[in-house]
A and B are shown apart, each in its own frame.
Chain A
Amino acid sequence: MKLDLGISSSSPLSVAIQFSKLAERGSLNCIWIGEDLNAQREIFTVAGIILLETSRVKVGVEVTSPLARNISTIARASATLSQIGRGRFRLGLDAARPNASMRDATTLLRRIWRGETVTFTSDNFRLGNYYARYKLGFATPIYFGVRDPELLALAGETADGVILSGPKRYIEKAVAIVEQGLRKRKRRGKSFRFVARVPTVVVDKKSDLKLAREAVATVLAETPKAVLEMVGITQEMVKPIKAMMAEKGVNEASRIVAEDLLQEVAIYGSPEEVAFDLRSLEKYGIDEAIFGSPYGREPAKAIREMAEAWGRLV
Chain B
Amino acid sequence: MGKASIDFAVGLNAYETVEEIVDKCLEAERLGLDYVWIGDSPPHLYCPSVAAAVASRTRKIRVGLGLLSPLLHTPDQILKGIISLTEAYGDRFEICLGVGDRSQLSRVGIDSKLVRGLDYVLKAKRKIARSLQASGVAIKIWLGAQGPRMLAASKSFDGVLMNYASPRMIKWAIDRAKSTARKNFDFGIYAPSYVYRKWRPKAYRLLRIASAVVALGAPATVLDEFGFSKRLHRAMEEHEAGLRIESVARNVPAEIVDNFSIYTSSSGLRSYLTELGDLGISHIVFGFPQNLSKITIRDLASVLPNH
Contacts and interface: CB of A to CB of B under 8 A. Distances in A.
Interface string A46-57: 111100110000
A255 interface: no
A132 B52 CA distance: 21
Contact of B84 (A49, A80, A81): A49
B91 to A, nearest CB: 15
A91 to B, nearest CB: 12
Nearest to A129: B107
Sort chain B's interface into a size bin.
Answer: 35 or more
Interface of B: 14-19, 42-46, 48-50, 52-53, 56, 72-73, 77, 79-81, 83-85, 87-88, 106-110, 131, 135
Interface string A6-50: 000000110001000000000000000000000111101111110
A52 B48 contact: no
Contact of B18 (A70, A80, A130): A80
Nearest to B13: A133
A297 interface: no
Contacts of B79: 40
A186 to B, nearest CB: 31
Interface residues of A, number: 38
A76 to B, nearest CB: 5
B77 A69 contact: yes
Interface stretch (A120-128, A167-175, A212-220): A120-128
A54 to B, nearest CB: 12
Interface string A75-99: 0110111011000000000000000
A40 B135 contact: yes
A135 interface: yes
13 contacts: A40-B83, A41-B80, A42-B77, A42-B81, A46-B84, A71-B108, A72-B43, A76-B43, A77-B46, A80-B18, A84-B53, A126-B109, A130-B107
A131 interface: yes
B84 A133 contact: no
A126 B81 CA distance: 25
B53 A45 contact: no
B17 A44 contact: no
B43 A132 contact: yes
A280 interface: no
Interface of A: 12-13, 17, 39-42, 44-49, 52-53, 69-73, 76-77, 79-81, 83-84, 125-135
Nearest to B51: A45
B53 A73 contact: no
A70 B107 contact: no
Nearest to A76: B46
Contact of A128 (B52, B53, B106): B106
A125 B84 CA distance: 28
A134 B81 contact: no
From A44, A79, A84, A129, residue with most partner B Cβ within 10 Å: A84
B87 A13 contact: yes
A72 B56 CA distance: 25
Contacts of A42: 48, 77, 80-81, 83-84
A81 B52 CA distance: 11
B80 A45 contact: yes
B253 to A, nearest CB: 27
Nearest to B41: A133
Contacts of B83: 40-42
Contacts of B49: 44-45, 47-48, 77, 80-81, 84
Contacts of A129: 107
A73 B88 contact: no
B76 to A, nearest CB: 9
Contacts of A125: 109
Given A13-B84, A71-B108, 20 more contacts: A13-B88, A42-B80, A45-B52, A45-B81, A47-B49, A49-B56, A70-B72, A80-B18, A81-B46, A84-B18, A125-B109, A127-B107, A127-B108, A127-B109, A133-B15, A134-B16, A134-B17, A134-B44, A134-B45, A135-B17
